[in-house]
Amino acid sequence: MDIKTLQALVVDALEDVKAQEIRVYDTMHLTSMFDRIVIASGTSNRQTRALAMSVRDKVKSSGGEIINMEGENTGEWVLVDLGDIVVHIMQPAIRAYYRLEEIWGDKEVKLGAAKRSAGTARKASQKAASDGTQAPAKTAAKKTPAKKSAATKAPAKKAPARKIPAKKATVKVTAKTASKTASKTASKTPAKKAVARKTPAKKSVSKKSAAR
């Protein structure tokens, strides 16, 4: 069982029987024997036993393993060994005397965040188990529209080909302009010839001067 799931089960079991001052500490950096220590208080021998049984029953029903239980006879300090987590359920006087928080309490785990993460993990695993067979169909359905949309965008690449007639139109305009220019040039050419015809007139003037 996942450590976060087991931790959430323990805290829920203690809260169900009204445990006081529940504390969870991460001990992975201190020892390799267990990953978490949970400390809680019960106001009487009867309550400490009830808290220990609540933890045992809830973990067992969820498929967890109970390694050992100690201290049920007196009820002053009941220890529940779950392997990865060791739970200490103590009466307030015993807890104040032994001060386990000072030994193991270097790194406290926030209960709210731990329970939320464990709950999210359980929901995700349950959803994956129920929808596991439908997942490939959903992904395939999502990819199909993407391919169709790419196909609809293909004609957009042919759009520049429609601009070719515009270039022909430009060529026609240029041809017309050239023809107009040619006609203007042709019309101006006779004017130059007319100037050439005036040249004999100048020669006649020179003949008159010679006659004088």
Q: Name which residue leads in pLDDT, 212 or 165.
A: 165
pLDDT, residue 106, reads 86
Q: Name which residue leads in pLDDT, 7 or 134.
A: 7
Look at residue 26 and tell me whether its pLDDT is greater than 60.
yes
pLDDT, residue 1, reads 84
Least confident of 10-24, 30-44, 46-60, 111-125: 111-125
pLDDT digits (tens, 9 = 90+) for 146-195: 444 444 444 444 544 454 444 444 444 444 444 555 445 444 444 444 44
Look at residue 202 and tell me whether its pLDDT is greater than 80.
no
Q: Cα 202 vs. chain centroid, distance in angstroms? A: 99
Domain boundaries, the chain: 3-125, 164-204
pLDDT, residue 143, reads 45
> Which of 23, 40, 32 is CA-nearest to residue 107?
23
Q: Could you please state the CATH topology (level 3) that the domain comprising 3-125 is classified under.
A: Beta Polymerase; domain 2 (3.30.460)
pLDDT digits (tens, 9 = 90+) for 49-65: 999 999 999 999 999 99
Q: Is residue 13 very low, low, confident or very high in pLDDT (cuts 50, 70, 90)?
A: very high
pLDDT, residue 211, reads 42
Average pLDDT estimate for 133-137: 41
Q: Name which residue leads in pLDDT, 152 or 22.
A: 22
Q: Name which residue leads in pLDDT, 191 or 96.
A: 96
Q: What are phi and psi of 154, to 5 degrees?
A: -60, -45
Q: Name which residue leads in pLDDT, 81 or 211.
A: 81
Percent of the chain residues past pLDDT 90, beyond the cut:
50
Percent of the chain residues past pLDDT 70, beyond the cut:
53
CA distance 212 to 208: 6
Q: Is residue 111 very low, low, confident or very high in pLDDT (cuts 50, 70, 90)?
A: confident
> Which of 165, 54, 5, 61 is CA-nearest to residue 69?
54
| Residue 88 identity (one-letter amino acid) | H
Full 3-state SS string of 150-192: HHHHCHHHHHHHHHHHHHHHHHHHHHHHHHHHHHHHHHHHHHH
